[in-house]
Structure 1
Amino acid sequence: MSATSPPKTTIRYMKRAIADFFWGWDKEKRKYHWASWDKLSLPYDEGGIGVRKLEDVCTSLKFKQWWTFRTKQTLLGQILRAKYCQRAHPVAKKHHTGQSLIWNFMSKNKGIAEAQIKWKINSGNSSFWWDDWLGEGPLASYCTHIISLNTTAISQFLVGGN
């Protein structure tokens, strides 16, 4: 489920299998469901049993995939950077049809994921224009003359660590 989101019908079949596990069958027919799945998937303190909704799991895995791509050096990340981000920062890269399924999937989710990522300056490896290190969004969104080829790092503006 972390590579791509399953179709809604697949999620429906998975929910049905989970419901059969919880409630089971009685003489060739399903047992009565005493609580709805939405109620059961609430946290314990809200009256549920703490089972997460499959839709929520899929959503979290989508954003985790983008986070891993942006923060870790993985083989898949290296391949995608080499293929799609040679001349542009991943945030600046536009979504185009005809690209690989995994890149299309990640590109569709990057806008929502990037809005939640806040970068710390630390060593200054973050992108000056494309990473949200001020907490107000990337600086490139406030300027019209910045091109996607600009890969300036914050460290180029630091003098003596300040």
Structure 2
Amino acid sequence: MSCFKLPNSLCDDLTSMIRNFWWGQQRDEKKIAWMSWDKLCEPKSCGGMSFKKIKQFNMALLAKQGWRLQTKHTSLVYKVLKARYFPNSDFLHATIGNNPSYTWQSILVAQPLVCEGMRWSVGNGRDIRIWEDKWLPTAFTHKVRSPGLFLDSDTRVCELIKPEFASWNMVLIDALFYPHRQRKLRGFL
């Protein structure tokens, strides 16, 4: 499941088999489902049984492979796939290419999920664009929403940092961000 996208019909069949086993159904005999399948798939701490939703689990495992391709550049798998499918870019900007293997097609299906979940860790901020990249410590978008658009669209986060003190340039932060964002940034660096 971590290398191949299972067909939806197979996932549905497996889920059906698990449900039938759990509820004790045999042949055409129907039993009462005392709890919805979605409730059974919730974590035990929430009253469920922690059953896996097979389609989502498959996508999560494929996204994990995609994340490894984006971050672990020393692995043999990375080197082989990079040479074959994305020699001039990174995993996030890779395309399907010509005559792709089923493994590559499967991992690439999870590429949007990897993109959606990524955000920068600030560090020195030289590679992070203030307006374009996800870098803020909030769960909504991780992007800047601000009235202070007096900076160029390609301005980097490092220009908001005083490197000698490893702190934010608060004069610039106060002029650039909404007050609620200023408060969140004060404790983030």
Q: TM-score, normalised by structure 2?
A: 0.57
Once residues 107 and 134 of structure 1 are traced to their aligned partners in structure 2, the CA distance between those partners, rounded to angstroms, is 24
Shift of 1:67: 0.8
Once residues 26 and 95 of structure 1 are traced to their aligned partners in structure 2, the CA distance between those partners, rounded to angstroms, is 44
Once residues 64 and 27 of structure 1 are traced to their aligned partners in structure 2, the CA distance between those partners, rounded to angstroms, is 38
Which ranges in structure 2 are unaligned for 5 or more consecutive residues? 137-142, 145-152, 167-189
**Which residue number corresponds to residue 37 of structure 2?**
37
Percent identity over paired residues: 24
Which ranges in structure 1 are unaligned for 5 or more consecutive residues? 144-153
Shift of 1:115: 2.8
Shift of 1:42: 2.1
Once residues 81 and 98 of structure 2 are traced to their aligned partners in structure 1, the CA distance between those partners, rounded to angstroms, is 15
- Residues 1-54 of structure 1: per-residue CA shift (max 9 Å, x gap): 111221122112211221233122469734332222122112335432222321
Find the structure with the greater CA-based Rg.
2
Aligned CA distance change for structure 1 residues 92 and 42 (closer, same or farther; 3 Å): closer
Once residues 80 and 90 of structure 1 are traced to their aligned partners in structure 2, the CA distance between those partners, rounded to angstroms, is 9
Q: Superposed, which structure 2 residues align to 1:5-154 within 5 Å?
A: 5-25=5-25, 29-72=29-72, 73-96=74-97, 98-120=99-121, 122=123, 132=133, 134-135=135-136, 136=143
Once residues 27 and 6 of structure 1 are traced to their aligned partners in structure 2, the CA distance between those partners, rounded to angstroms, is 26
Instruction: State how many pairs are aligned.
Output: 141
Q: TM-score, normalised by structure 1?
A: 0.65
